[in-house]
């Protein structure tokens, strides 16, 4: 895939999201799912989450994956020519009551300015019954709301963040995806998702990208990967391509980075 058409860019700018875009074939999505599930199975019990998030630091295939032009080119079409990967997150919703409350990412990530967008890539079927993402159309153009930390039992967000505003349901748009498809969303858009009513896990691999002028305002020493263009700002330390999968240096860096990121995300 190359970039986006002008109509798609306009739609992203107007709505704050864009979908569906085909990133991978169904077979490629299944292969990525297998790699993810192998990494989960190999992690110490209780560390699956950090093992998943650290993949571009610990595994060369994941470092290469975040450079894939089928994701980077559409992202670059909305962010500009110089692009960093800031984070690889995973939103895995097992069958059951898990949900994601309506929130805005920009409120707690510490990234400024808001030249930041996520590519949410479905590695399993993410049809309407699986609790796909739901966006509030145009909300990225409105205010950044305060959020309550609810720490709700089944909330998949780290603090159960909920925007302190009434969400107008009629302005929400459900974004179902087939395996291998992706949606893009702006860092300020209000979004959430409902429980997964199917029998399979709903797997979202979420790649967070930003323009190189963005800086981390909540922690020192945050890291990123340059995936396109040049970085003249150097606001982030660069994550090198892993030399050995799960090598000692790679695991050390992943642990260090996990602590930096925890500080950035959990402190106000």
Ligand X SMILES: O=C(O)CCC(=O)C(=O)O
Residue 193 interacts with ligand X (CB under 6 A)? Answer: yes
Closest CA to 84 of 207, 220, 1, 252: 207
Between residue 100 and residue 159, which ones bind ligand X under the rule CB under 6 A? 100, 105, 118, 120, 133
Phi and psi torsions of 249, nearest 5° = -60, -40
Residue 204 interacts with ligand X (CB under 6 A)? Answer: yes
Between residue 208 and residue 237, which ones bind ligand X under the rule CB under 6 A? none
Residues contacting ligand X: total by CB under 6 A:
10
Comparing CB distances to ligand X, the nearer of 142 and 229 is 142
Residue 161 interacts with ligand X (CB under 6 A)? Answer: no
Cβ-contact 185, 132 below 8 angstroms? no
Structure tokens at 84: 């960093």
Phi and psi torsions of 239, nearest 5° = -90, 120
Residue 17 interacts with ligand X (CB under 6 A)? Answer: no
Closest CA to 237 of 229, 228, 256: 256
Q: How far is the CB of 133 from ligand X (least distance, A)?
A: 5
Closest CA to 91 of 237, 216, 239, 201: 201
Comparing CB distances to ligand X, the nearer of 109 and 236 is 109
Closest CA to 246 of 122, 45, 62, 26: 62
Structure tokens at 73: 């080119």
Among 122, 206, 214, 239, binds ligand X (CB under 6 A): 206
Q: How far is the CB of 113 from ligand X (least distance, A)?
A: 18
Structure tokens at 192: 């959430």
Between residue 25 and residue 84, which ones bind ligand X under the rule CB under 6 A? none
Comparing CB distances to ligand X, the nearer of 60 and 144 is 144
Which residues of this protein are in contact with ligand X, per CB under 6 A? 91, 100, 105, 118, 120, 133, 191, 193, 204, 206
């Amino acid at each position: 895939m190359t970039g986006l058409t002008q109509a798609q860019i306009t739609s992203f700018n107007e709505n704050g999201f864009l979908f569906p875009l085909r990133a991978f074939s169904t077979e490629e999505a299944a292969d990525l799912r297998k790699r993810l599930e192998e990494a989960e199975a190999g992690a110490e019990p209780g560390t699956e989450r950090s093992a998943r998030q650290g993949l571009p630091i610990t595994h060369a295939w994941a470092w290469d994956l975040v450079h894939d032009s089928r994701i980077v080119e559409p992202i670059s079409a909305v962010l500009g020519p110089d692009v960093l990967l800031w984070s690889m997150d995973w939103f895995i919703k097992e069958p059951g009551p898990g949900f994601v409350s309506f929130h805005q990412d920009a409120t707690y990530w510490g990234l400024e300015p808001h030249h930041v967008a996520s590519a949410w890539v479905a590695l399993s079927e993410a049809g309407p019954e699986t609790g796909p993402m739901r966006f509030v159309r145009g909300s990225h153009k409105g205010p950044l709301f305060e959020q309550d930390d609810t720490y709700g039992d089944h909330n998949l967000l780290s603090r159960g963040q909920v925007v302190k505003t009434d969400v107008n349901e009629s302005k929400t748009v459900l974004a179902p995806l087939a395996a291998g498809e992706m949606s893009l969303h702006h860092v300020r858009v209000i979004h959430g998702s409902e429980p997964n009513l199917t029998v399979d896990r709903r797997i979202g691999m979420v790649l967070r990208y930003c323009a190189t002028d963005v800086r981390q305002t909540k922690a020192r020493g945050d890291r990123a990967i340059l995936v396109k263009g040049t970085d003249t700002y150097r606001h982030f330390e660069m994550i090198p391509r892993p030399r050995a999968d799960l090598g000692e240096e790679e695991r050390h860096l992943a642990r260090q980075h996990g602590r930096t990121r925890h500080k950035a995300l959990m402190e106000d």
